[in-house]
Amino acid sequence: MAPLLALASAALYGIVDFAGGLLSRRVHFAVVTLLGQVGGLLLALVVAFVAPTSEVRLPDVLWGALSGIGSGAAMTYLNRGLSRGSMSVVVPVSAVTGVALSVLCGVFLLGDRPAAVAWLGIGVTLPALWLVSGGGRGAADSAAGAGAATGSAGDGGDRAGAAGTGAAPSGLRTGATLDGLLASLGVAVQYLGLAQAGAGSGVWPVVAGRVAAVALLLPGLWRHAGRFRQPPEVWGKAAAIGAGAALALILYLWAAQRQMLSVVVVLASLYPAVPTVLGLTALHERVNIRQTVGLVGAALAILLLTLG
């Protein structure tokens, strides 16, 4: 049951990531991010009142809040890296390092002992994530890709589009790598914090996390206040995207309560494969050989981790 919940979380996160990328082509990422967190908070509240809850303990709520801070930080640094036009640097660095940190913490701090076949699956996952999320592409491709993702997002998109005309400076790539590493810390905190919440608290740790994430991102409202003058359709889409992300976290929480963290977090982190598949099927994009190898590796990792 736990592997299925983790994979469902990954699938939903991937769909949300894909939809958020499309919306961010027209709307500044700060709008999508903050409104998404509000939508996620509303969805989490609804589920929290419906899901079984025996006792909401303060430590569980605090762990959930810490998870939300990690989530907000991860999105902030990831979007900053993308706005610099360095998609093929910041995305794979954040994905791979986030998984690696979570697994190491699970093993050395929480006492996880994955089976040998699960370790093999973890080993396959890391390069698969790197390849499927675009690691190793040229700097120009990187910038062009990020420009497409944020091209209508104001100054950040303009910089990304301009960067796409040539090789990215070494300083830009260094900054993007730092953004990716900081985002990966946020990802690890998000997964580790939520996994510490007890089952008795139900979904309330996710609610606490959304509240913390909104509080962390709220200062962006003042910096980008003018960009929030959007039609109701945009508000609704951004909120729906955030609701999907919150549901993905709820599925991850339920999976983490049934299986060791080092296995669940790896399965849930396979979400970068979903936008690649959706880009191929829905947008008729071309998948390069690196991404193809990454998709095959992701499928193999799922098999190994499920068996483990």
Chain centre to alpha carbon of residue 118 = 22
Chain centre to alpha carbon of residue 233 = 24
Return the HEC string of 237-259.
HHHHHHHHHHHHHHHHHHHHCCC
Per-residue pLDDT of the chain (308 residues; tens, 9 = 90+): 889 999 999 999 889 888 887 887 788 777 888 888 999 999 999 999 999 888 899 999 999 999 999 988 888 788 777 766 566 677 788 888 889 999 999 999 888 899 999 999 999 998 998 888 776 554 434 433 433 333 333 333 333 343 343 445 566 567 778 888 998 999 999 999 999 998 899 999 999 999 999 998 888 777 777 777 888 888 999 999 999 999 999 999 999 999 889 899 999 988 888 887 887 787 777 778 888 898 899 899 988 888 76
Cβ(13)–Cβ(272) under 8 Å? no
- Return contacts of 291-294, CB within 8 angstroms, 24+ apart: 291/131, 291/132, 291/134, 293/128, 293/131, 294/127, 294/128, 294/129, 294/130, 294/131, 294/132, 294/133
Provide the token pair at 285.
């994009």
| Residue given tokens 């977090």 in the structure block | 265
Chain centre to alpha carbon of residue 10 = 9
Provide the token pair at 308.
């483990």
